[in-house]
Chain A
Amino acid sequence: MSGTHDGGTDRDGPGDGFDDSLLEEELRQAAGILDPVPAELDRLAVEAFALRDLDAGLAELTFDSLVDALPIRGETDPARMLTFRAGEVSLDVEVSAEGLFGQVMPPQPARIEVLSGLRPARSLTADEMGRFTGETPPSGPFALRLRAGGEVVVTEWLRA
């Protein structure tokens, strides 16, 4: 594919000296010393292999108020509204400082796990209307794992 490169050869356009590449390499080494990937993050990413969740259907994010909605005048800290969809099942979620509120559509009772990375999950129960409430908002990246009927669905990981 033209326009791509695999290391640097086609970076050296006309007038692009050896000096430019040297300076870039020196800067790369500086980044390795002064701003490397923190070790704990490296470890977390390696361990994230366990989060593949092969049995669950993936519910993709189809609406995010942060991106898809206009800011509401006067509201300084509006709730984040999210919608995830996997086939027939969708999940509306509202995250605010007060916690997590959601509804399963079509309405049905469900078991919901709030996943927080590799930490233990919290369990919530959705009533017969499909509504569920969590007292505290998720901190850091989270995903919701839903069991309704015979189906298991997990939402895409998201940073709240």
Chain B
Amino acid sequence: MTGGTALSTAYDGVSYTRGGAVDRRDVGALVQSAADGDAAAWKALVEGLGPLVWSVARAHRLSDADAHEVYQTAWFRFAQHLGRIREPEKAGSWLASTARNESLKVLKAARRWTPTDDPQLLDRVSEDRTPEESVLDSEEAAAQSERVRWLWQEFEELGERCRQLLRVLIASPPPSYQEVSAALGIAVGSIGPMRQRCLRRLRARLEARGAA
């Protein structure tokens, strides 16, 4: 995989996005263009890869404030490294692993201040997040939003490994398995089987609730 192959991708006057999502094959070319000073290419990268970066912070159960800082740090550092990245087409993995490292540092710093043996207690859970508030309010969406709320609740209560894997997998646009691997430090080959098991576990929970 070299960045050069994608360089011929025409971006002038052509939408970077397909269905609102940056095609992963365009990432290398967008990075090159952004490094050359193209602000629109940078914006397309933010749109295409921002949700992945956010999902990594969320997968690590950071508080809102910490997740905000991790997200910013990853993008600020990416801007610094823009012209220096060796494999531009892997920018998603670069960002995902930067966000992971920063998230782990947040957890580690919290651990030093909180002497405890229980790793579950070390995760700082977001306090001020009230998903219900952000659900669309219109009547039209009410029935659907109830289903969305159920789904999210069951997802949040999945075991930690499943919740973490799925949170990154459901970034939009869907990340590649390379990116998921970089985001969570797990082998690419284990992602498919874990994903299947976790989705089935989630479905079983929904069925138990009568919401499948």
- Which of A's residues lie within 8 Å of B, judged by CB? 1, 3-8, 11, 13, 15-16, 19-20, 23-24, 26-38, 41-42, 44-46, 48-54, 58, 64, 66-67, 71, 76-78, 80, 117, 140-141, 143, 154, 156-159
Contacts and interface: CB of A to CB of B under 8 A. Distances in A.
10 contacts: A5-B176, A27-B166, A31-B152, A32-B172, A45-B46, A45-B75, A58-B80, A143-B76, A157-B73, A159-B73
B60 interface: no
Contacts of A35: 54, 58, 129, 131
Interface of B: 1, 23-25, 34, 39, 42-43, 46-47, 50-51, 53-55, 58, 68-73, 75-84, 102, 105-106, 108-109, 112-113, 115, 129, 131, 134-136, 145, 148-149, 151-152, 155, 166-167, 169-174, 176-178, 188-189, 192-193, 195-196, 199-200, 202-203
A13 B36 CA distance: 40
Nearest to A1: B1
Given A4-B178, A159-B106, A38 B170 contact: no
Contacts of A19: 203
B58 A46 contact: no
B71 A45 contact: yes
Contacts of B108: 66-67
Contacts of B113: 76-77
Given A7-B174, A30-B152, A159-B70, 19 more contacts: A3-B189, A11-B192, A23-B199, A24-B166, A28-B171, A31-B55, A32-B172, A33-B145, A34-B131, A34-B148, A35-B129, A37-B51, A41-B71, A45-B46, A45-B50, A46-B42, A52-B83, A141-B72, A157-B77
Nearest to B109: A66
B22 to A, nearest CB: 11
A143 B81 CA distance: 13
A138 to B, nearest CB: 11
Nearest to B126: A35
Closest 10 interchain pairs by CB? A157-B76, A45-B75, A28-B170, A34-B131, A141-B73, A49-B42, A37-B54, A157-B77, A3-B188, A45-B46
A143 B72 CA distance: 12
A85 to B, nearest CB: 15
Contacts of B115: 76
Nearest to B150: A30
A66 B172 CA distance: 32
Contacts of A7: 24, 173-174
Contacts of A11: 192, 195
A20 B80 CA distance: 39
A53 B83 CA distance: 11
B46 A157 contact: no
Contacts of A76: 112-113, 115
A67 B76 contact: no
A76 B23 CA distance: 46
A49 B106 contact: no
Contact of A34 (B54, B134, B178, B203): B134
A41 B169 contact: no
A141 B174 CA distance: 27
